[in-house]
Amino acid sequence: MVIEADISHIKQIAEIEKENFQKPWSYNLIYGEYKNQHSRIYVFLNKNQVAGYIIYRCIFDEVELLDISVKKDFRRCGIADNLIDFLIEQSKNCNIFLEVRQDNDSAINLYEKKGFRKIGLRKDYYSRGIDGFVMKLYVQGVQDVKNESGCCARAAGNQ
């Protein structure tokens, strides 16, 4: 079951971070996202235990997936799949962006299965010699256009 995280979940999220990442987010960083008015944290609960979580930020008409992880004991059970589906459902009318380690094949495969496409590469994004792909899920009816300043702006409909 996916529910919005409350303060009692932050410690469990931080523990999963430590379990899964060489450079995990700290409790304080997760708490900062919890308090950020633009960020959302949802957890997948299994018997009142956090089995996985997703952290994303909504700014105007864009969504950025910041962090997603599943506790090792619950991997290969479809939890990450469910969390991505939940994110897509919550992000209607918004394209979704993320960065993923270039060598994280399982995550890349999941994102591509969900419709994300590689749109760029960030050199040394994770650390020296470890690049990150920028990926984007294009939502039907929302397209990027260039505005007068040359920056990407968003427009709905076909043009």
pLDDT of residue 156: 36
Report the alpha-carbon distance of residue 32 to residue 48 in Å, rounded: 23
Helices 79-90 + 105-113 axis angle, to 10: 50
The 10s digit of each residue's pLDDT in 107-128 is 999 999 999 999 999 999 988 9
Report the alpha-carbon distance of residue 28 to residue 19 in Å, rounded: 17
Judge contact between 88 and 114, C-beta under 8 A.
Answer: yes
Report the CATH number that the domain containing residue 57 is assigned in CATH. Answer: 3.40.630.30
3-state secondary structure of 15: helix
Tell me the residue length of the chain. Answer: 159
Which residues in 93-105 are b (16+ Cβ under 10 Å) and which e? Answer: ebbbbbbbebeee
Domain that holds residue 79: 2-156
Residues of the chain falling short of pLDDT 70: 140-159
Nearest to 99 by CA among 80, 124, 129, 76: 124
pLDDT of residue 92: 82
How many domains, the chain? 1
pLDDT of residue 21: 92
What's the pTM value of the predicted model, to 2 decimals? 0.85
pLDDT of residue 155: 37
pLDDT of residue 138: 87
